[in-house]
A and B are shown apart, each in its own frame.
Chain A
Amino acid sequence: MDTRLRRFSTNGMTKFLAFAIVVLALAAVVVQIQYAEYINGNVESLIVDNYIDSEEFYYGQVQNSLFRVSRAIEEGEELEGTSDCIYFAADKEKTFGNTIWSEREYYEQYDQTFYYLEDGEWQAGKNTNPLTYNPGIDDTEAMAYVAFTDEYMAEKQVEWEANRAVLKPLALRIAASVSLALLLIAYLIWATGRKPDDRELHMAKIDSVYSDVLLALFLPAIGAWVVSIGEFAFLRNRLFDGLGMNEVFSMALAGGATVVAVTVCGVLLLSLVRKLKAGKLLKHSLIFVAFAASYDFFKSLFDGRRFKGNTHTQSLFKRQWAFIVASAAMVFLTFVFLFSGVVPLMALPPILEILIIYWFIKGNNKTFVEINKGFDDSLGERMKAERMKIALVTNVSHDLKTPLTSMVSYVDLLSKEDDLPDSARDYVQILSEKTNRLKNIVSDLFDLAKSTSGDISMEMEKIDIKKLIEQTIGDMSDEIEKSGLKMKTKLPENQVMIFSDGKKLYRVFQNIIDNALKYSLEGSRVFVELEEADGFAVATVKNTASYEIDYTADEMLQRFSRGDKSRSTEGSGLGLSIAESFTKVCGGNMKVIVDGDLFKVSVSFQMDE
């Protein structure tokens, strides 16, 4: 039952009908009031039973008559115009009256409507309603009697009751129309936005208009109605009371205008009601939205949202500018208010400034947190990637070495077979060479991966780099001799102490010199020098390339890049990469310089003194 009632009450048709009834009822009210006006109906007759007690009689007849009589005595002549009373008035010189009677008893017989002038003051008769206003005169000698005849009062009373008979149903109808309209308006306020199918609040198209615009639209609607009612209501024939062509026409126009006005106002009102129900009456207003937008715009200048597309540092820089400019503007405004004498307004800029400082600091903090987070994240990512790399390298290294061990072993066994044909022996020889090279590459790759990932155990101590270079050259003397190159050394007399890992540094120089031996022009010289410069020990190995160097120093250091692109010679091609990586973990710095055919590798370490 409840749901059925709800279904009916939220039905669109029901609502439309209710709305139409409200419109018609209100139009009817207007028209009926107009009609009452046209028939000169006095509303007082509905409340006051007897004409004699009415204000119509008191103000319209009594007061008027007493005033006229008073004036007549003072002016010495009767006033023009009419009055429905009978009276007699006299002073020392003259008498007035509109009856033949001058005796008080005559007038006093109408004891409910008898008034007399005594000592310059008007008095009401014994049974007469008292006076509220006394238009008395200065002449205390003057006397007067005023009364309304019973016949007159009876006639008026009949008229009074006839008027009431006409007005009473009219008033009831108006009251009924108004109550119906109010009831339905209450219903519509409840029902608007609801639909039978769900419990959601449904907005209409007009609800997208801002609240304050809707509110403002009431003004022209009501204004136009008032103006048109004013126009139409006076289209009447004043010569007689009642309805003529003019009056009916004017009533139709007024009714029409009311229909239009009520429809427009009703639509506006219901829209506002829906917005109120949705809780966005204030939020969805032009003033609020405009204020919020400008507030947000200014805020975004300082808290960084305005500069979202920029990098963090750019954003901070721009915000700083916005902050400085705004702060300067606030100071300027304060002085403007001070000198223009609008002293109370001086409080405004400091308050705004506090707001700006708050936004600025909060936004900055947020950015700093973001920068830190980004930094930590990337650091964490890198650490993770490196750890994964190490794990991968360790696993891959083991997985490569195990089959390689079998290969090396079986190739060796094969080479020891006695009854191999010569061709097979050649093949085995090649296999042997290649497996050995593979062995070197895997070993070098492993070393490189470990050192670049930083996962390498170091034994740092104070060592003499000069001695280390000499030892390395001594260690490699066989290879140097075999290469046919001349090794020229230029080393300082004294020891050059640095803090490093000797074993790894030996690998560094071994690889650099090895590289020089492999790729030098036949019969040329290789220069090995050590210098002390600005607290740094700089070791340099220079050689003349046996080929045209057609790539840059950087490419030279790239893993696997090789002096000869054909890659036919033995070696892993990782020598210089390992040297550079090891130099780094040993705390030094390695540079490769290519100048024509001159190839120069320099390794520098801070001296330890």
Chain B
Amino acid sequence: MDKAGILVVDDDREIAGAIEKLLESEGFQVQKAYDGKEALEALVSGGIQLILMDVMMPRLDGLSATLKIRESRNIPIIILSAKSEDSDKILGLSMGADDYVTKPFNPDELVARVKSQLRRYMLLGDMGNGSKANQIAIGGLLLDLDAKQLTVDGEPVHLTAKEFQILEFLMKHAGMVFSAEKIYERVWKEKPYSVENTVMVHIRRIREKIEINPKEPNYLKVVWGIGYKIEKI
């Protein structure tokens, strides 16, 4: 995983330079490209395990470049864009990007996301796509029901019993929304009475443990005014 090659694509040379310095200090090998066309060319020479892609660029924009790359490679692509609308994010992800980070980004968060994507990429390479019996895998989350163990991008994460049960319940029904009462009934096995706050606090704790940025969760999401769910990835 060390010395992984990362391609930074951004028409703003200062930003590309800053990301280069940032990632190099974390021990990555960085190549730079200043538009989509250069990115495609750089990819040919090989040695690249992840791409950071800006959207608004001359010649070939980031979304088109992503689409092109996806025709032949499943290398992780993180889109870096000043466009922060939900619709922009959805568009970027639907083009085949693995993650979407808005500018201006938090450098630490960017590094964390890069590492997360790289680990997941490597792990997938190790274990293929198959999860063993009594394991639930969603994105970088791997829940081992026998060992009562959760790993995020391969790193073990410690959960309390209730947190584990909540996550297990939600991951078993990924994509479905459950109210706090339902979750409480299933996890606490008691009649729910004014439990919203209790469940919400637990959810928040879990998010802090499994999400890179708990404010913008990738996995565990609050459906405001309705309930909670684990995103089906």
Contact B225 A464 (CB under 8 A): yes
With contact pairs A402-B82, A443-B84, A446-B84 given, residues A502 and B104 touching in the complex (Cβ less than 8 Å) = no
Binding stretch for chain B, among A37-45, A258-266, A319-327, A405-413: A405-413
With contact pairs A406-B14, A412-B22, A467-B179 given, residues A475 and B222 touching in the complex (Cβ less than 8 Å) = yes
Contact A502 B223 (CB under 8 A): yes
Cα of A402 to Cα of B226 in the assembled complex, Å = 36
Cα of A439 to Cα of B105 in the assembled complex, Å = 9
CB distance from A406 to the nearest CB of B (A): 4
Contact B224 A506 (CB under 8 A): yes
> In the complex, which residues of chain A have a beta carbon less than 8 angstroms from the beta carbon of B224?
463, 468, 471-472, 502-503, 505-506
Cα of A473 to Cα of B197 in the assembled complex, Å = 7
Judge whether A284 is part of the interface by a CB distance below 8 angstroms. Answer: no
Judge whether B85 is part of the interface by a CB distance below 8 angstroms. Answer: yes
CB distance from A36 to the nearest CB of B (A): 113
Contact B180 A467 (CB under 8 A): yes
Contact A477 B225 (CB under 8 A): no
- Within 20-35 of B, Cβ neighbours of A (below 8 Å) are at 21-22, 25
Q: Classify chain B's interface size.
A: 35 or more
Contact B197 A477 (CB under 8 A): yes
- Within 445-460 of A, Cβ neighbours of B (below 8 Å) are at 446, 457
> In the complex, which residues of chain B have a beta carbon less than 8 angstroms from the beta carbon of A410?
14, 18
Judge whether B15 is part of the interface by a CB distance below 8 angstroms. Answer: yes
CB distance from B57 to the nearest CB of A (A): 12
With contact pairs A443-B84, A457-B86, A474-B201 given, residues A413 and B18 touching in the complex (Cβ less than 8 Å) = yes
With contact pairs A402-B15, A406-B14, A407-B104 given, residues A471 and B225 touching in the complex (Cβ less than 8 Å) = yes
> In the complex, which residues of chain B have a beta carbon less than 8 angstroms from the beta carbon of A470?
180, 196-197, 200
Of the candidates A401, A413, A472, A473, which one forms a contact with B104 in the assembled complex, judged by CB atoms under 8 Å apart?
Answer: A401
Contact B196 A471 (CB under 8 A): yes
CB distance from B105 to the nearest CB of A (A): 7
> In the complex, which residues of chain A have a beta carbon less than 8 angstroms from the beta carbon of B103?
401-402, 404-405
Cα of A127 to Cα of B222 in the assembled complex, Å = 148
Judge whether A577 is part of the interface by a CB distance below 8 angstroms. Answer: no
Judge whether A500 is part of the interface by a CB distance below 8 angstroms. Answer: yes
> In the complex, which residues of chain A have a beta carbon less than 8 angstroms from the beta carbon of B180?
467, 470
Contact A404 B87 (CB under 8 A): no
Closest to B226 in A: A463
State the majority secondary structure of interface residues on A. Answer: helix
Judge whether B19 is part of the interface by a CB distance below 8 angstroms. Answer: yes
With contact pairs A446-B84, A502-B225 given, residues A402 and B12 touching in the complex (Cβ less than 8 Å) = yes
Closest to B198 in A: A474
> In the complex, which residues of chain B have a beta carbon less than 8 angstroms from the beta carbon of A416?
25
With contact pairs A398-B56, A409-B15 given, residues A457 and B223 touching in the complex (Cβ less than 8 Å) = no
Judge whether B107 is part of the interface by a CB distance below 8 angstroms. Answer: yes
> In the complex, which residues of chain A have a beta carbon less than 8 angstroms from the beta carbon of B18?
405-406, 409-410, 413
Cα of A468 to Cα of B225 in the assembled complex, Å = 4
Residues of A in contact, count (CB < 8 Å): 38
- Within 464-502 of A, Cβ neighbours of B (below 8 Å) are at 464-465, 467-468, 470-475, 477-478, 500, 502
> In the complex, which residues of chain A have a beta carbon less than 8 angstroms from the beta carbon of B197?
470, 473-474, 477
With contact pairs A412-B22, A457-B87, A474-B200 given, residues A439 and B104 touching in the complex (Cβ less than 8 Å) = yes
CB distance from A339 to the nearest CB of B (A): 79
Of the candidates A405, A409, A500, which one forms a contact with B225 in the assembled complex, judged by CB atoms under 8 Å apart?
Answer: A500
Judge whether A569 is part of the interface by a CB distance below 8 angstroms. Answer: no
Contact string against A for B residues 88-111, beta-carbon threshold 8 Å, 1 for contact and 0 otherwise: 000000000000000111111000
> In the complex, which residues of chain A have a beta carbon less than 8 angstroms from the beta carbon of B86?
457
Closest to B107 in A: A412
> In the complex, which residues of chain A have a beta carbon less than 8 angstroms from the beta carbon of B199?
474
CB distance from A51 to the nearest CB of B (A): 127
CB distance from A604 to the nearest CB of B (A): 16
Judge whether B204 is part of the interface by a CB distance below 8 angstroms. Answer: yes
> In the complex, which residues of chain B have a beta carbon less than 8 angstroms from the beta carbon of A500?
225
Judge whether A397 is part of the interface by a CB distance below 8 angstroms. Answer: yes
Closest to B227 in A: A467
CB distance from A462 to the nearest CB of B (A): 8
Some 19 contacts from A to B, beta carbons below 8 A apart, are A402-B15, A404-B104, A408-B105, A408-B106, A409-B107, A467-B227, A468-B225, A470-B180, A470-B200, A471-B196, A471-B222, A473-B200, A474-B201, A474-B204, A477-B197, A477-B204, A500-B225, A505-B224, A506-B225
Query: What residues make up the interface of B, taking CB atoms closer than 8 Å to A?
Result: 12, 14-15, 18-19, 21-22, 25, 56, 82-87, 103-108, 179-180, 196-197, 199-201, 203-204, 222-227
Add 15 more A-B contacts to A463-B224, A470-B180 (CB < 8 A).
Answer: A397-B82, A404-B103, A405-B103, A406-B18, A409-B15, A435-B104, A439-B104, A457-B86, A457-B87, A461-B226, A468-B225, A471-B224, A474-B200, A477-B204, A505-B225
